[in-house]
Amino acid sequence: MIVQHWQTIVRRRRKQSVSRPGAWSLGTAVCSFVLNAATIVVIARTLGPTNIGVYMFVLWLATAAVPAIGVGMSTVTSRYLASIQGREEPRLIAGIFRFVWQRQYRSILLYCFIYLLLAWPLSWFFGAKAPVLFLLLAGLSALPILLSGVASITLRSLHRFDLLAVLRLVGASTSLLLVFMATQFQGEQTGMFLLASAITSTLTLMMALFCILCLLPMKQAVEPGMLLQDRLTRGLSNSLLLFILDSIVWQRSEMLLLGHGHNTAELGFYALSSLISARVIGIAPTILSTCILPLLLRYMPGQHYVSAADAFLKTSRHITLLAVPLCLGAILCCPILISWCFGDAYFPIVTPLRILLVSAMFGSVATISLTHLAQGERKRAQLRLGIVAALINILLAVPLIAFLGVTGAALASAIAQIVSAIGSICICRKLILG
């Protein structure tokens, strides 16, 4: 009887520990998503189609290369470092944080040197779409992002996902507040919004550092040994080739062609449509991880995964059931949503957005496969797939953009992303089901 009572208590605690963090994570994720969407809407309505293209283009130029040199900016690097830190005691975690933080300073110096060298050539090449002053202001947003990756890794290693969610929520709230304040100033609104973005990133970084200083004994930090430093150094290195291929397929590389040969309004339409589609990709995985899976574990204990293959098949099925109706609904409703949120001036977004939402559906389903492949297995297969998808994007983007403009850019990007997503699913399926 005592054993049965104890098992009942344990089951209740497991259910509480599963459901409450899920509800909390989902709530903060929804609030952050809504606040970020509201920020983009306010900026787009204030600047108009022409100036929003300049704003989003210079931000993209400033941050596109950050993951290549930033510690923790890639999924593989972040998980690798978090797993190393999570197995150590607090004093050694503090030492690892200090070691990685110092390494990141070198990345910042490298970024500043390269970016300052390229700012004037980029401004000359793209003309009025990328003024030097706006490029420099956009570059200020990249510096806190480089350091935020280190803080995020440390909080993950301490399993403080609640703090990470709060930081995202506070960052989204601060961004919206600063954007509203910027709308009250007279003068160049684009520069004010870029400055607001940099201030938001800096404040979020300062709060993350404060949390780390409160959680870790930094004064008693133990420096990692030579072997551990060697493991950390090898883990900090990112594959530049894989990053370039991923950028061509998934990181709006078509904006370079649009920025050189088309007007700023077309550039803004494509930037907004690609930004919206990228946000849609993450909705289904977020709902699955923060809501569906906790509820299944709470009310259907028999749904536990028995193997990696079972987990892959079931999670892929759940993602598909979420992503397909979500993306189809977005495709049908996007004209109403665009007109209501951004205004009739942004109605040309509808066609490229619908095209990109098709690829977003495949990309959302492929997130499970990409999560498994992030462990570093089947790199040759991933490299071949990346080369094929990147070549498809490049070969299609040049003629399609020349003849169809924004619609052609969306078509080239969508086809390349669908090929990449399906290829990733096939590689992962072969790897797991063998």
| Pair of tokens at residue 290 | 């923060």
Report pLDDT for 302: 57
Cα dihedral 359/62/190/42 (nearest 10): 40
- With beta carbons less than 8 A apart as the criterion, state whether 425 and 367 touch: no
Identify the segments of the chain with pLDDT beneath 70: 1-25, 67-80, 233-240, 295-310, 371-378, 434
pLDDT of residue 3: 34
| C-alpha–C-alpha distance, residues 322 and 433, integer Å | 23
| Whole-number Å distance between alpha carbons of 245 and 388 | 9
The SS3 call for residue 251 is coil
* DSSP classification of residue 395: H
- Residue 330 and residue 277: Cα distance in Å, rounded? 10
Q: ∠336-341-346 over CA atoms, to 5°?
A: 80
Euclidean distance between CA atoms 353 and 335, whole angstroms? 10
Handedness of CA 371, 256, 268, 133 (dihedral sign): positive
Q: Specify the pLDDT at position 57.
A: 92
Q: How many CA atoms lie within 13 A of 67 on its CB side?
A: 18
H runs (alpha helix) in 127-238: 132-157, 161-182, 189-215, 226-236
What is the residue extent of each domain of the chain?
21-238, 239-434
b/e map 76-112, b = 16+ CB within 10 Å:
ebbbbbbebbeebeebbbbbbbbbbbeebeebbeebe
Token pair recorded at residue 294: 């906790």
What's the rounded Cα separation, in Å, for the pair 71 and 147? 8
**Residue 2 tokens, joined:** 């005592």
**Block residue for tokens 């995985």:** 285
> Tokens at residue 386, please?
């990346």
The token duo for 390 is 């990147």
Question: Which residue from 119, 26, 17 is spatially nearest to 65, judged by alpha carbons?
Answer: 119
Amino acid residing at 249: V
Residue 79 one-letter amino acid: R
Alpha-carbon distance 258 to 274, whole Å? Answer: 13
Q: What is the pLDDT, as a whole number, of residue 376? A: 56
CB distance 238 to 22 below 8 Å: no
pTM, entire model: 0.84
pLDDT at 5: 38
Question: What does the alpha-carbon distance between residue 357 and residue 278 come to, in Å, rounded to a whole number?
Answer: 9
Which residues, in sequence order, are CB contacts of 114 under 8 Å at separation 6+? Answer: 65
Helix/strand/coil for 217: coil
The dihedral built from the CA positions of residue 334, 339, 343 and 345, taken in this order, carries a sign that is positive
